[in-house]
Protein backbone atom coordinates (compact mmCIF):
# COMPACT_ATOMS: atom_id res chain seq x y z
CA UNK A 1 0.00 0.00 0.00
CA UNK A 2 1.05 3.59 -0.59
CA UNK A 3 1.01 6.10 2.25
CA UNK A 4 -2.26 7.56 1.00
CA UNK A 5 -3.81 4.11 0.84
CA UNK A 6 -2.72 3.42 4.42
CA UNK A 7 -4.37 6.68 5.50
CA UNK A 8 -7.61 5.88 3.68
CA UNK A 9 -7.63 2.31 4.94
CA UNK A 10 -7.74 3.67 8.47
CA UNK A 11 -10.07 6.56 7.67
CA UNK A 12 -12.75 4.24 6.26
CA UNK A 13 -13.57 3.32 9.89
CA UNK A 14 -15.19 6.72 10.39
CA UNK A 15 -18.85 6.51 11.47
CA UNK A 16 -21.71 7.10 9.05
CA UNK A 17 -25.47 6.94 9.43
CA UNK A 18 -26.47 3.25 9.71
CA UNK A 19 -23.02 2.31 8.36
CA UNK A 20 -23.91 3.47 4.84
CA UNK A 21 -20.38 4.85 4.14
CA UNK A 22 -21.61 7.62 1.88
CA UNK A 23 -18.30 8.49 0.27
CA UNK A 24 -15.88 7.26 -2.34
CA UNK A 25 -12.17 8.03 -2.62
CA UNK A 26 -10.25 9.15 -5.69
CA UNK A 27 -6.46 9.30 -5.54
CA UNK A 28 -5.72 12.28 -7.76
CA UNK A 29 -1.96 12.43 -7.17
CA UNK A 30 0.75 11.29 -4.78
CA UNK A 31 -0.32 13.92 -2.24
CA UNK A 32 -3.93 14.55 -3.25
CA UNK A 33 -7.19 12.69 -2.56
CA UNK A 34 -10.67 13.73 -3.65
CA UNK A 35 -13.48 12.57 -1.38
CA UNK A 36 -16.71 12.22 -3.35
CA UNK A 37 -19.50 12.34 -0.77
CA UNK A 38 -23.26 12.03 -1.15
CA UNK A 39 -26.13 12.50 1.24
CA UNK A 40 -29.16 10.24 1.60
CA UNK A 41 -32.03 12.73 1.46
CA UNK A 42 -33.59 11.00 -1.54
CA UNK A 43 -34.40 7.83 0.41
CA UNK A 44 -33.82 8.35 4.15
CA UNK A 45 -36.45 10.10 6.27
CA UNK A 46 -33.77 10.98 8.84
CA UNK A 47 -31.72 13.00 6.33
CA UNK A 48 -34.19 15.16 4.41
CA UNK A 49 -32.02 18.28 4.68
CA UNK A 50 -28.73 16.41 4.30
CA UNK A 51 -27.37 17.69 7.60
CA UNK A 52 -26.88 14.31 9.33
CA UNK A 53 -24.91 13.12 6.29
CA UNK A 54 -22.84 16.32 6.35
CA UNK A 55 -21.93 15.65 9.99
CA UNK A 56 -20.79 12.18 8.89
CA UNK A 57 -18.65 13.73 6.13
CA UNK A 58 -16.96 15.73 8.89
CA UNK A 59 -16.20 12.62 10.94
CA UNK A 60 -14.52 11.10 7.88
CA UNK A 61 -12.44 14.18 7.10
CA UNK A 62 -11.32 14.48 10.72
CA UNK A 63 -10.34 10.82 10.69
CA UNK A 64 -8.29 11.36 7.54
CA UNK A 65 -6.46 14.24 9.23
CA UNK A 66 -5.81 12.16 12.36
CA UNK A 67 -4.59 9.17 10.32
CA UNK A 68 -2.30 11.44 8.28
CA UNK A 69 -0.62 12.66 11.47
CA UNK A 70 0.77 9.16 11.90
CA UNK A 71 2.85 9.78 8.76
CA UNK A 72 3.97 13.28 9.71
CA UNK A 73 1.54 14.79 7.21
CA UNK A 74 -0.80 17.76 7.51
CA UNK A 75 -4.14 17.30 5.75
CA UNK A 76 -5.43 20.51 4.14
CA UNK A 77 -9.11 20.11 3.25
CA UNK A 78 -11.26 22.26 0.98
CA UNK A 79 -14.72 21.70 -0.46
CA UNK A 80 -15.07 22.32 -4.18
CA UNK A 81 -17.45 25.28 -4.56
CA UNK A 82 -18.91 23.94 -7.80
CA UNK A 83 -20.11 20.67 -6.26
CA UNK A 84 -23.79 19.88 -5.82
CA UNK A 85 -25.15 20.28 -2.30
CA UNK A 86 -26.22 16.63 -2.33
CA UNK A 87 -22.86 15.43 -3.71
CA UNK A 88 -20.07 17.60 -2.30
CA UNK A 89 -16.46 16.88 -3.24
CA UNK A 90 -13.64 17.55 -0.80
CA UNK A 91 -10.03 17.93 -1.91
CA UNK A 92 -7.53 16.67 0.66
CA UNK A 93 -3.89 17.57 0.11
CA UNK A 94 -1.14 16.08 2.27
CA UNK A 95 1.94 18.11 3.16
CA UNK A 96 4.96 16.98 5.25
CA UNK A 97 5.05 19.15 8.35
CA UNK A 98 7.63 18.89 11.13
CA UNK A 99 5.13 20.46 13.52
CA UNK A 100 2.70 17.57 13.12
CA UNK A 101 2.75 15.14 16.05
CA UNK A 102 1.28 11.64 15.81
CA UNK A 103 -2.24 11.87 17.24
CA UNK A 104 -2.97 9.91 20.42
CA UNK A 105 -6.38 9.13 18.88
CA UNK A 106 -5.05 6.93 16.05
CA UNK A 107 -5.34 3.74 18.07
CA UNK A 108 -9.01 4.44 18.81
CA UNK A 109 -10.12 4.78 15.18
CA UNK A 110 -10.83 1.08 14.61
CA UNK A 111 -11.97 0.49 18.20
CA UNK A 112 -14.64 3.22 18.19
CA UNK A 113 -18.10 1.73 17.89
CA UNK A 114 -21.75 2.10 18.90
CA UNK A 115 -23.14 0.43 22.02
CA UNK A 116 -26.95 0.10 21.84
CA UNK A 117 -27.25 -2.12 24.90
CA UNK A 118 -27.18 -1.07 28.58
CA UNK A 119 -23.92 0.37 29.87
CA UNK A 120 -22.61 0.82 33.39
CA UNK A 121 -24.21 3.64 35.37
CA UNK A 122 -20.86 4.66 36.88
CA UNK A 123 -20.81 8.49 36.71
CA UNK A 124 -18.30 10.25 34.50
CA UNK A 125 -15.24 11.42 36.38
CA UNK A 126 -14.56 15.15 36.52
CA UNK A 127 -11.28 14.61 34.66
CA UNK A 128 -12.95 12.65 31.87
CA UNK A 129 -15.57 15.37 31.46
CA UNK A 130 -12.83 18.00 31.31
CA UNK A 131 -10.93 16.06 28.64
CA UNK A 132 -14.06 15.51 26.56
CA UNK A 133 -15.11 19.16 26.79
CA UNK A 134 -11.62 20.22 25.68
CA UNK A 135 -11.87 18.15 22.49
CA UNK A 136 -14.79 20.22 21.17
CA UNK A 137 -13.75 23.67 22.41
CA UNK A 138 -13.77 26.51 21.56
CA UNK A 139 -16.45 26.41 18.85
CA UNK A 140 -18.61 23.83 20.65
CA UNK A 141 -19.69 22.96 24.18
CA UNK A 142 -21.15 19.88 25.85
CA UNK A 143 -24.28 19.76 27.98
CA UNK A 144 -24.49 16.77 30.34
CA UNK A 145 -27.74 15.11 31.39
CA UNK A 146 -26.37 12.99 34.19
CA UNK A 147 -28.59 13.12 37.27
CA UNK A 148 -31.14 10.36 37.69
CA UNK A 149 -33.92 12.83 36.89
CA UNK A 150 -32.20 14.14 33.78
CA UNK A 151 -31.48 10.62 32.52
CA UNK A 152 -35.14 9.71 33.09
CA UNK A 153 -36.24 12.73 31.04
CA UNK A 154 -33.85 11.77 28.24
CA UNK A 155 -34.94 8.12 28.36
CA UNK A 156 -38.61 9.14 28.14
CA UNK A 157 -37.81 11.42 25.23
CA UNK A 158 -36.20 8.55 23.35
CA UNK A 159 -39.07 6.21 24.28
CA UNK A 160 -41.66 8.68 22.95
CA UNK A 161 -39.57 9.38 19.89
CA UNK A 162 -39.39 5.65 19.14
CA UNK A 163 -43.18 5.47 18.84
CA UNK A 164 -42.92 7.94 15.97
CA UNK A 165 -40.08 5.99 14.32
CA UNK A 166 -41.79 2.61 14.61
CA UNK A 167 -45.22 3.68 13.34
CA UNK A 168 -44.01 5.64 10.31
CA UNK A 169 -44.01 3.87 6.90
CA UNK A 170 -41.20 6.11 5.68
CA UNK A 171 -38.96 5.11 8.60
CA UNK A 172 -39.84 1.45 8.10
CA UNK A 173 -38.29 1.51 4.64
CA UNK A 174 -35.09 2.93 6.07
CA UNK A 175 -34.95 0.40 8.91
CA UNK A 176 -35.60 -2.52 6.59
CA UNK A 177 -32.77 -1.51 4.29
CA UNK A 178 -30.08 -1.13 6.95
CA UNK A 179 -30.53 -4.18 9.20
CA UNK A 180 -28.29 -7.11 8.27
CA UNK A 181 -30.18 -10.27 9.23
CA UNK A 182 -27.56 -12.55 7.66
CA UNK A 183 -24.63 -11.21 9.67
CA UNK A 184 -25.63 -11.15 13.32
CA UNK A 185 -22.33 -9.96 14.81
CA UNK A 186 -20.41 -8.05 12.11
CA UNK A 187 -21.75 -6.34 9.00
CA UNK A 188 -19.56 -4.61 6.39
CA UNK A 189 -22.23 -2.21 5.10
CA UNK A 190 -25.25 -2.33 7.44
CA UNK A 191 -26.12 -2.75 11.13
CA UNK A 192 -25.85 -6.39 12.25
CA UNK A 193 -29.05 -7.71 13.80
CA UNK A 194 -27.22 -8.68 16.97
CA UNK A 195 -26.29 -5.04 17.61
CA UNK A 196 -29.88 -3.78 17.81
CA UNK A 197 -30.12 -4.20 21.56
CA UNK A 198 -33.22 -6.43 21.86
CA UNK A 199 -33.71 -9.96 23.19
CA UNK A 200 -33.94 -13.04 20.96
CA UNK A 201 -37.75 -13.21 21.00
CA UNK A 202 -38.20 -9.55 20.05
CA UNK A 203 -35.52 -9.89 17.38
CA UNK A 204 -37.30 -12.89 15.87
CA UNK A 205 -40.59 -10.98 15.81
CA UNK A 206 -38.92 -7.94 14.24
CA UNK A 207 -37.39 -10.05 11.49
CA UNK A 208 -40.78 -11.58 10.66
CA UNK A 209 -42.61 -8.25 10.78
CA UNK A 210 -40.09 -6.32 8.70
CA UNK A 211 -40.81 -8.37 5.59
CA UNK A 212 -43.49 -5.80 4.72
CA UNK A 213 -45.15 -2.67 6.09
CA UNK A 214 -48.44 -4.56 6.18
CA UNK A 215 -46.95 -7.09 8.59
CA UNK A 216 -45.32 -4.39 10.68
CA UNK A 217 -48.50 -2.37 10.86
CA UNK A 218 -50.44 -5.45 11.97
CA UNK A 219 -47.93 -6.18 14.73
CA UNK A 220 -48.05 -2.55 15.87
CA UNK A 221 -51.84 -2.69 16.01
CA UNK A 222 -52.08 -6.02 17.85
CA UNK A 223 -49.10 -5.77 20.18
CA UNK A 224 -48.12 -2.11 20.27
CA UNK A 225 -44.55 -0.89 20.12
CA UNK A 226 -43.74 -0.96 23.83
CA UNK A 227 -41.44 -4.04 23.77
CA UNK A 228 -38.79 -2.75 21.34
CA UNK A 229 -39.11 0.78 22.77
CA UNK A 230 -38.54 -0.53 26.28
CA UNK A 231 -35.50 -2.57 25.27
CA UNK A 232 -33.98 -0.17 22.73
CA UNK A 233 -34.80 3.19 24.29
CA UNK A 234 -36.18 3.39 27.83
CA UNK A 235 -33.99 0.83 29.62
CA UNK A 236 -30.73 1.83 27.90
CA UNK A 237 -31.62 5.47 28.50
CA UNK A 238 -31.27 4.87 32.23
CA UNK A 239 -28.42 2.35 31.96
CA UNK A 240 -25.61 4.77 31.12
CA UNK A 241 -23.36 7.33 32.75
CA UNK A 242 -25.06 10.28 31.09
CA UNK A 243 -26.67 11.69 27.98
CA UNK A 244 -24.85 14.53 26.24
CA UNK A 245 -25.70 17.27 23.77
CA UNK A 246 -23.04 18.74 21.50
CA UNK A 247 -23.88 22.41 20.98
CA UNK A 248 -22.41 25.00 18.62
CA UNK A 249 -21.75 28.56 19.74
CA UNK A 250 -22.88 29.79 16.32
CA UNK A 251 -25.95 28.52 14.47
CA UNK A 252 -24.85 26.10 11.71
CA UNK A 253 -26.10 27.17 8.28
CA UNK A 254 -23.86 25.81 5.54
CA UNK A 255 -22.51 22.41 4.57
CA UNK A 256 -19.14 23.51 5.95
CA UNK A 257 -20.73 24.31 9.33
CA UNK A 258 -22.17 20.80 9.64
CA UNK A 259 -18.91 19.26 8.43
CA UNK A 260 -17.10 21.20 11.17
CA UNK A 261 -19.56 19.83 13.72
CA UNK A 262 -18.78 16.32 12.49
CA UNK A 263 -15.07 16.90 12.90
CA UNK A 264 -15.60 17.98 16.51
CA UNK A 265 -17.87 15.00 17.09
CA UNK A 266 -15.23 12.55 15.87
CA UNK A 267 -12.56 14.03 18.15
CA UNK A 268 -15.03 13.70 21.03
CA UNK A 269 -15.98 10.11 20.12
CA UNK A 270 -12.39 8.96 19.67
CA UNK A 271 -11.32 10.60 22.93
CA UNK A 272 -14.24 8.87 24.62
CA UNK A 273 -12.99 5.57 23.24
CA UNK A 274 -9.51 6.10 24.70
CA UNK A 275 -11.16 6.62 28.11
CA UNK A 276 -13.01 3.29 28.01
CA UNK A 277 -16.36 4.88 27.18
CA UNK A 278 -18.94 3.82 24.60
CA UNK A 279 -21.64 5.85 22.93
CA UNK A 280 -25.00 5.50 21.21
CA UNK A 281 -26.21 8.34 18.98
CA UNK A 282 -29.64 9.79 19.84
CA UNK A 283 -30.17 12.07 16.86
CA UNK A 284 -33.78 11.41 15.92
CA UNK A 285 -35.39 13.77 18.49
CA UNK A 286 -33.23 16.59 17.12
CA UNK A 287 -34.10 15.62 13.55
CA UNK A 288 -37.88 15.37 13.98
CA UNK A 289 -38.15 18.43 16.20
CA UNK A 290 -36.27 20.37 13.50
CA UNK A 291 -38.70 19.10 10.86
CA UNK A 292 -41.62 20.20 13.04
CA UNK A 293 -40.09 23.59 13.76
CA UNK A 294 -39.33 24.30 10.09
CA UNK A 295 -42.49 22.75 8.66
CA UNK A 296 -40.62 20.04 6.73
CA UNK A 297 -43.02 17.39 5.49
CA UNK A 298 -41.57 14.02 6.38
CA UNK A 299 -44.54 11.65 6.24
CA UNK A 300 -47.77 11.02 4.37
CA UNK A 301 -49.48 10.29 7.72
CA UNK A 302 -50.97 13.59 9.02
CA UNK A 303 -51.41 12.30 12.58
CA UNK A 304 -47.66 11.71 12.84
CA UNK A 305 -47.00 15.38 12.18
CA UNK A 306 -48.89 16.12 15.38
CA UNK A 307 -46.71 13.58 17.19
CA UNK A 308 -43.62 15.36 15.87
CA UNK A 309 -44.95 18.68 17.23
CA UNK A 310 -45.33 17.10 20.67
CA UNK A 311 -41.84 15.65 20.37
CA UNK A 312 -40.52 19.07 19.41
CA UNK A 313 -41.92 20.60 22.61
CA UNK A 314 -40.45 17.80 24.73
CA UNK A 315 -37.05 18.03 23.02
CA UNK A 316 -36.80 21.78 23.28
CA UNK A 317 -37.81 21.79 26.96
CA UNK A 318 -34.99 19.36 27.73
CA UNK A 319 -32.08 20.60 25.63
CA UNK A 320 -32.87 24.01 24.12
CA UNK A 321 -32.25 25.70 27.45
CA UNK A 322 -29.44 28.14 26.66
CA UNK A 323 -28.16 30.37 23.87
CA UNK A 324 -26.30 27.55 22.09
CA UNK A 325 -27.35 25.43 19.10
CA UNK A 326 -27.66 21.63 19.52
CA UNK A 327 -26.12 19.67 16.63
CA UNK A 328 -25.74 16.17 18.09
CA UNK A 329 -27.02 14.09 20.99
CA UNK A 330 -26.22 10.70 22.47
CA UNK A 331 -25.80 8.60 25.59
CA UNK A 332 -22.49 7.32 26.87
CA UNK A 333 -21.07 5.10 29.55
CA UNK A 334 -18.25 2.83 30.60
CA UNK A 335 -18.15 -0.73 29.18
CA UNK A 336 -18.89 -3.44 28.47
CA UNK A 337 -17.83 -3.57 24.84
CA UNK A 338 -20.56 -4.60 22.37
CA UNK A 339 -20.34 -8.14 21.06
CA UNK A 340 -21.83 -7.16 17.69
CA UNK A 341 -20.80 -4.15 15.64
CA UNK A 342 -20.71 -2.71 12.15
CA UNK A 343 -17.42 -3.08 10.33
CA UNK A 344 -16.54 -1.54 6.95
CA UNK A 345 -16.32 -2.23 3.26
CA UNK A 346 -12.79 -3.04 2.03
CA UNK A 347 -10.92 -0.01 0.78
CA UNK A 348 -11.02 -1.35 -2.80
CA UNK A 349 -14.83 -1.10 -2.75
CA UNK A 350 -14.67 2.52 -1.61
CA UNK A 351 -12.40 3.67 -4.42
CA UNK A 352 -13.87 5.70 -7.26
CA UNK A 353 -12.82 4.25 -10.59
**CATH 3.40.109.10 placement within the chain:** 3-111+343-350, 114-150+234-337
* Assigned CATH for 3-111+343-350: 3.40.109.10
Three-point CA angle 73, 246, 187, nearest 5°: 65
The model's pTM: 0.97
Residue 304: strand pairing partners: none
Instruction: State the CB neighbour count (10 A cutoff) for residue 97.
Output: 14
Q: What is the DSSP letter of 216?
A: H
Q: Give the architecture-level CATH label for domain 114-150+234-337.
A: 3-Layer(aba) Sandwich (3.40)
Residue 278: strand pairing partners: 333
pLDDT tens string for the chain (353 positions)? Answer: 999 999 999 999 999 999 999 999 999 999 999 999 999 999 999 999 999 999 999 999 999 999 999 999 999 999 999 889 999 999 999 999 999 999 999 999 999 999 999 999 999 999 999 999 999 999 999 999 999 999 999 999 999 999 999 999 999 999 999 999 999 999 999 999 999 988 898 899 999 999 999 999 999 988 889 888 999 999 999 999 999 999 999 999 999 999 999 999 999 999 999 999 999 999 999 999 999 999 999 999 988 989 999 999 999 999 999 999 999 999 999 999 999 999 999 999 999 97
Structure-derived torsion over alpha carbons of residues 22, 27, 28, 34, reported in degrees to the nearest 10: 20
37 in Cβ contact with 87 (< 8 Å): yes
Longest dimension (CA), the chain: 65
Amino acid sequence: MTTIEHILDLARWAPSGDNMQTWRFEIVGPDHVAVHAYDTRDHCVYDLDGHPSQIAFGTLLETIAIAASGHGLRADIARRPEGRATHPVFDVRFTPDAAIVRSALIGAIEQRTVQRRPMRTTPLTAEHKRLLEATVAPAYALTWLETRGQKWQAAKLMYNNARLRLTMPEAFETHRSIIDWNNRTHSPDKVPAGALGVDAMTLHLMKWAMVSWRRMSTVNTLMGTWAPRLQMDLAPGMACAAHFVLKAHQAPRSIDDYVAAGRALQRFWLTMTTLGLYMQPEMTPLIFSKYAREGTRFTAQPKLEGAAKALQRETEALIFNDALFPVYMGRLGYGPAPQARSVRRPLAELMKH
